[in-house]
Every structure is written in C-alpha cells, then in structure tokens.
C-alpha cells in the first residue's frame, strides 16, 4: 500500500497522470474506501481541468477537519468552480472552536477561509481571517524556525494582507531552508508560492518566470500536485496575469482535449461494489478487555500480528490495518456493511485480555454477507505464548479460507517477531503511534515518540526485524511527509534502519519494501535528472 502510494506520487510529480491513476486504482482494489487515494484522484482531475470528475470524487467524502488534505482539496475545488460560498459556513464552524491537536492546520484552514471569502466578494471578512491566520501560525514558526511548510503558509497569508515585503522575505527564507538545487521535489514548492505572491503583488515578470520554470520541471506542489496549464486557467489567484500574452501562452496548452482516463468511463469507480473474492479477509481491531486500559496497544499489537501473518499468504486478499482501524472496537458494527465497504468476503473479530503473566485471546471468523460465524476459538495461556497464539489463529483462518500456503509462507507465519515481550510492547505502542501520526494533521510528536520506542525495542532485541522496518518508516515520514526534519541526518537514520533490516533478512518482502520506500525518497534526484533541474536554474529570489 505505502509503496503503491509513493509510486503514484512519483508519477504525479512527473505529471504522468494516467500512470499515477493505475497505481491508485491498485490501492482502491485493496481498500476501496481509502480517503487519501480518492483525494489524490480528485487532485489529478483538477490538474487535468476535469472539475466534474473531481467533484464526483470529493462529494461523498464530506467536509471535516479529521482529514485536512481532503478538506483543503474540497475548498480548493469550490474556489476553482467559483462557488466558494458553499464551503465558507463549514470552515467557519470548524474554526469557531479550533482543535489544538490540529496545530498548524488551523492556520492553513484559516488562510483557505480568507481566500474563499475574497473570491466570494467579501474582502473585509477575508482580511480578518488572514489576520487570525497570521496570529495562529507565527508561534509555530518561533518553535520551528526551519519548518518550510509554516514559512510558506505565512508567505501566502502576508500576500493576502498585502504585506508585500514580508511575503517576499518569507519566500527567500523558505528557499534558503530547502534550495531547489538540493531537493527537486520539495524545493520548487517555494517557487510556486513565489509565483502566486508575485502574481498578486503586481510583479508579473517574476510570476511569469517562476511559472515558466515550474511547468518545465517535475515537483510536488503545496496540495501534492504540480501546477498544470489547466490549473493556471482555473485558479483565480492568477487572474492578474490573464491579459499577459506570456501567461496566455502557458495556459493555451490546457485547451487541448484530454483523453478520458479508463477509470472515469461509466459509473464512478468508487460508487461500485465488485463481488468480493472468496479468499478475502479483513481483521478488525480487537477489543481490549484488560483492566488496565493502557494495554489497548497490546490488543492492537495482537490484531496487527494476525493481520500481518495473513498478509504473508499470497493466496489471500488481506485489508491493511490503516483501512480497518476506522472500525475500532466498542462501536456497534454492521458487519455486512463493513464487508461491502472493504470489499471482502470474511471478517475476523476478537478480544484480548491481559492479566499478569496470563493472556486470553478470543477470535472468530464471520461471513460478511450472511453474518454467519464460521469459526471461533478462545486461547487462555501464559503471556509468553502470545506469539504462538497469533500464528495459530492465522493458520486456522487460512485453513478456513482454503488458502494455499507455500513452505516459505508457513515458516514466516510460525516465526515470532521477537522473543522479548517487553520489546514487543514497545513495538506495538510505536506502531500504533505511527498509524495515528499518518492519520493526523500534526503527527510530529507521535512520530518522534514512536521512533524513541522503536530505538528502545531494537536495543532490547537487536534481531527484531519488524522493528527496524518500522523505524525506517518513521524516519522517512519525519523527513518526507511532515517536513519537520528534512535533513541529511534524518535520511541517514532511515538508511541505517534499512541496512539493519537487510542484514537480518536480505530476501524478505518487507526488506525490499523498506528499501524501495527509502529509495523513493531519493526520487528527487531522479526527478532532477529527468527535468534537468539546476542546469542554469535562475535565482527566483533576486
């Protein structure tokens, strides 16, 4: 899943949208309701100028701050469609009581509110929103002076407030943090911000020069999408350039007809429910029955290990943990509906109770179409046997689904992740934090805590292969996704974790995935070569 997603984003950087859509469809074949994937598809539709297709993809998602990327994409859609009034009330409602957990995202949403208000013809309200956005973002910049995302946000807010000097000064600061010559994927984002600010601040020459450069190179834009001629035609922020012949030449490419993607013909892909394969299963979050609620991470760890064991079997389709965590235990579940949403024929539910040196695990397999229980078992054993319980449950479920297991798959399932229960506890807590960070608007504290726990886990058990894989992933997220530690040192830590995993199991699929994920972070250099970034690139801050 993660590899497919990063592969798709690499194609997006290169504006190879049909190939990106193929990868995204592969993800949706596994998790039909994956919001992040649907949002990227909508962004591609926007980039291709197909607003009706983008609207069809975004409409079912709703407007909520839980998924900031989805919300910002929906607001941008309304602005592109010249109907910003439709989203202003919801943004006001969310920001009336800003969630502190969202952190910087509150300031970003406030910027979008101001932009929507300006496009709607209410400049006074827009100015007030941007003033609030500045007051919300500036404290974050003091705490994180090299956070290029916050610097870019403040540059756009300063633009909205007509503070030309501050806007350009912030752009120069952002470019100093990540120069285009050292990072060809994220560096050009600052050039896009420059283009937007210059267009609005009466600097057409600088804006046109920046846009000409951007359209000639691959990169990842502020909304995870590079600018395209179609977006230049639709985005009102570039309205001051409409009468410039140079800008018209850039936009002219958007008037060429775009062949519809194979996935857009007929009924939208996400509105269809294909028959679920018989050998398909989702392992739903297990209920924590322990008296100590702090053991919830342990129940999550048991569920995740069973899911991971099943996912090793090539003959099975297994839904990822990211997609099943929305069906957290303690909430009434409609199993038929969940099975349809996930596109699986079978569901696994269970509970975990840990008390002292004993553990009780209950698991049962259910037919998602009939709600019929196909198998159930309770295991009451020593805590040290928890890994054997997990393997036994996975093997039994595989037998129930009549899955064919190769000798290597059998061996992988029977091999415990570690022999150190304390290390497993640390690992389970860390993995839950990594998942939380991936779904959070401000995941930096969770990422750093997860890395700390994983470091402790591998110190306790230097042969803990899975922990090294997750450690590599955590470092990669801090480097590439949050942007809060976009340093060579952080990338070196990711590489060290990948190398440790490689030493332990050089031929494991997880090793290849970890290494591929790491190498995709170096795609900036590949994009640099493909786009010839840096070959006499002008300084856009001069």
Chain CA centroid to CA 221, Å:
15
Residue 367 pLDDT: 93
Q: 3.40.50.10610, 3.40.1190.20, 1.10.287.130, 3.30.420.40: which CATH number matches 275-416?
A: 3.40.50.10610
Residue ranges per domain, the chain?
A: 2-255, 275-416, 422-504
Output the six-digit token pair for 491.
């990338």
Alpha-carbon span 119 to 37, nearest angstrom = 28
Residue 518 has pLDDT above 70, yes or no: yes
Residue 183 pLDDT: 59
β-bridge partners, 363: 350, 377
Residue 2 pLDDT: 62
Q: Average of pLDDT values for 288-308?
A: 84
DSSP result, 155-195: HHHHHHTT-HHHHHHHHHHHHHHS-TTT-TTTHHHHHHHHH
Q: Average of pLDDT values for 314-333?
A: 78
pTM summary value = 0.59
Residue 238 pLDDT: 95
Q: How confident is the model at residue 483 (pLDDT cuts 50, 70, 90)?
A: low
Residue 63 pLDDT: 61
469 CB-near residues (< 8 Å, 6+ apart):
497, 501, 510, 511, 513, 514
Contact 232, 247 (CB under 8 A): yes
Q: What is the pLDDT of residues 443-461, one digit of tens each?
A: 567 888 999 999 999 999 9
Report the CATH fold assignment for 422-504.
1.25.40
Q: How confident is the model at residue 497 (pLDDT cuts 50, 70, 90)?
A: very high
Output the six-digit token pair for 288.
């924590």
Decide whether 2-255 matches 275-416 in CATH topology: no
Output DSSP code: residue 479. Answer: I
DSSP result, 281-296: EEEPPPEE--SSGGGH
Contact 270, 32 (CB under 8 A): yes
Closest CA to 173 of 155, 197, 196, 200: 155
Q: What is the pLDDT of residues 163-189, one digit of tens each?
A: 999 999 998 888 777 665 555 556 688
Q: What is the pLDDT of residues 70-100, one digit of tens each?
A: 888 999 999 999 999 989 998 999 899 888 8
Alpha-carbon span 542 to 435, nearest angstrom = 42
Q: Find which of 10-14, 144-148, 468-472, 532-536 is predicted with most confidence, using mean pLDDT.
A: 468-472
Locate tokens 């024929």: which residue? 345
Please state the φ and ψ torsions of residue 350, each to the nearest 5 degrees.
Answer: -175, 180
Alpha-carbon span 192 to 185, nearest angstrom = 12
Annotate 152-167 with b (16+ C-beta within 10 A) or e (fewer). bbbbbbbbbbebbebb
154 CB-near residues (< 8 Å, 6+ apart):
134, 137, 138, 141, 166, 170
Q: Find which of 99-108, 127-136, 141-150, 512-521 is predicted with most confidence, using mean pLDDT.
A: 127-136
End-to-end CA, the chain: 42
Q: How confident is the model at residue 306 (pLDDT cuts 50, 70, 90)?
A: very high
Alpha-carbon span 516 to 495, nearest angstrom = 11
Residue 230 pLDDT: 92
Alpha-carbon span 45 to 63, nearest angstrom = 19
Residue 144 has pLDDT above 90, yes or no: no
- Report the mean per-residue pLDDT for the chain: 83
Closest CA to 367 of 323, 393, 336, 340: 336
CATH top class, domain 2-255? mainly alpha
Contact 32, 343 (CB under 8 A): yes
Element (H, E) at 530: helix 523-531
Alpha-carbon span 343 to 366, nearest angstrom = 14
Q: How confident is the model at residue 256 (pLDDT cuts 50, 70, 90)?
A: very low
Residue percentage of the chain with pLDDT more than 90: 44
Element (H, E) at 280: strand 280-283
Residue 45 has pLDDT above 90, yes or no: yes
Q: Average of pLDDT values for 409-430?
A: 91
Residue 149 pLDDT: 83
Contact 59, 74 (CB under 8 A): no
Q: Average of pLDDT values for 471-490?
A: 78
Instruction: Write the burial class of residue 424 (CB in 10 Å: 0-12 exposed, 13-18 middle, 19+ buried).
Output: buried
Q: What is the pLDDT of residues 387-407, one digit of tens each?
A: 999 999 999 999 999 999 999
């Amino acid at each position: 899943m993660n590899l497919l997603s990063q592969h798709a984003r690499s194609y997006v950087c290169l504006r190879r949208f049909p190939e990106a859509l193929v990868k995204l469809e592969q993800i949706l074949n596994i998790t039909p309701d994956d919001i992040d994937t649907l949002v990227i598809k909508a962004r591609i539709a926007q980039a291709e100028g197909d607003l009706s297709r983008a609207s069809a993809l975004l409409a079912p998602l709703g407007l909520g701050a839980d998924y900031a990327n989805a919300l910002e994409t929906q607001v941008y859609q309304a602005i592109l469609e010249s109907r910003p009034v439709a989203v202003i009330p919801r943004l006001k409602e969310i920001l009336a009581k800003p969630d502190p957990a969202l952190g910087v995202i509150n300031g970003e949403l406030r910027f979008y509110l101001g932009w929507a208000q300006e496009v709607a013809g209410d400049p006074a309200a827009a100015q007030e929103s941007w003033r609030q956005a500045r007051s919300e973002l500036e404290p974050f910049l003091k705490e994180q002076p090299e956070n290029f995302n916050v610097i870019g946000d403040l540059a756009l807010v300063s633009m909205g407030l007509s503070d030309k000097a501050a806007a350009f000064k912030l752009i120069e600061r952002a470019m100093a943090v990540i120069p285009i010559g050292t990072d060809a994927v994220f560096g050009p984002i600052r050039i896009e911000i420059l283009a937007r600010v210059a267009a609005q601040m009466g600097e057409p020459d600088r804006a046109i020069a920046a846009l000409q450069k951007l359209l000639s190179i691959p990169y990842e834009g502020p909304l995870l999408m590079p600018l395209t001629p179609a977006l230049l035609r639709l985005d009102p922020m570039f309205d001051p350039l409409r009468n410039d012949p140079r800008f018209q030449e850039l936009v002219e490419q958007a008037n060429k007809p775009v062949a519809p993607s194979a996935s857009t013909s007929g009924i939208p892909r996400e509105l269809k429910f294909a028959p679920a394969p018989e050998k398909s299963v989702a392992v739903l979050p297990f209920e924590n029955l322990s008296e100590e609620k702090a053991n919830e991470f342990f129940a999550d760890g048991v569920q995740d290990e069973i899911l991971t064991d099943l996912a090793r079997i090539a003959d099975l389709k297994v839904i990822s943990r990211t997609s099943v965590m929305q069906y957290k235990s303690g909430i009434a579940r409609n199993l038929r509906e969940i099975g349809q949403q996930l596109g699986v024929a079978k569901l696994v539910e269970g509970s975990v109770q840990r008390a002292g040196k004993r553990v009780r695990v209950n698991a049962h397999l259910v037919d998602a179409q009939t709600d019929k229980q196909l198998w159930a078992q309770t295991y009451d054993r020593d805590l040290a046997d928890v890994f054997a319980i997990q393997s036994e449950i996975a093997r039994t479920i595989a037998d129930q689904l009549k899955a064919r297991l190769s000798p290597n798959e059998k061996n992988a399932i029977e091999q415990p992740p570690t022999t150190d229960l304390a290390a497993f506890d640390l690992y389970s807590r860390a993995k839950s934090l990594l998942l939380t960070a991936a779904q959070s608007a401000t995941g930096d504290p969770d990422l750093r805590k997860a890395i700390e726990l994983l470091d402790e886990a591998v110190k306790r058990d230097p042969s803990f292969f899975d922990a090294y894989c997750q450690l590599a992933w955590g470092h990669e997220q801090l480097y590439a996704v949050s942007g809060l530690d976009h340093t060579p040192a952080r990338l070196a830590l990711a590489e060290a974790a990948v190398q440790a995993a490689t030493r332990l199991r050089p031929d494991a699929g997880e090793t290849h995935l970890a290494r591929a994920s790491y190498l995709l972070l170096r795609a900036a250099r590949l994009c640099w070569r493909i786009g010839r970034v840096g070959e006499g690139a002008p300084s856009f801050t001069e």
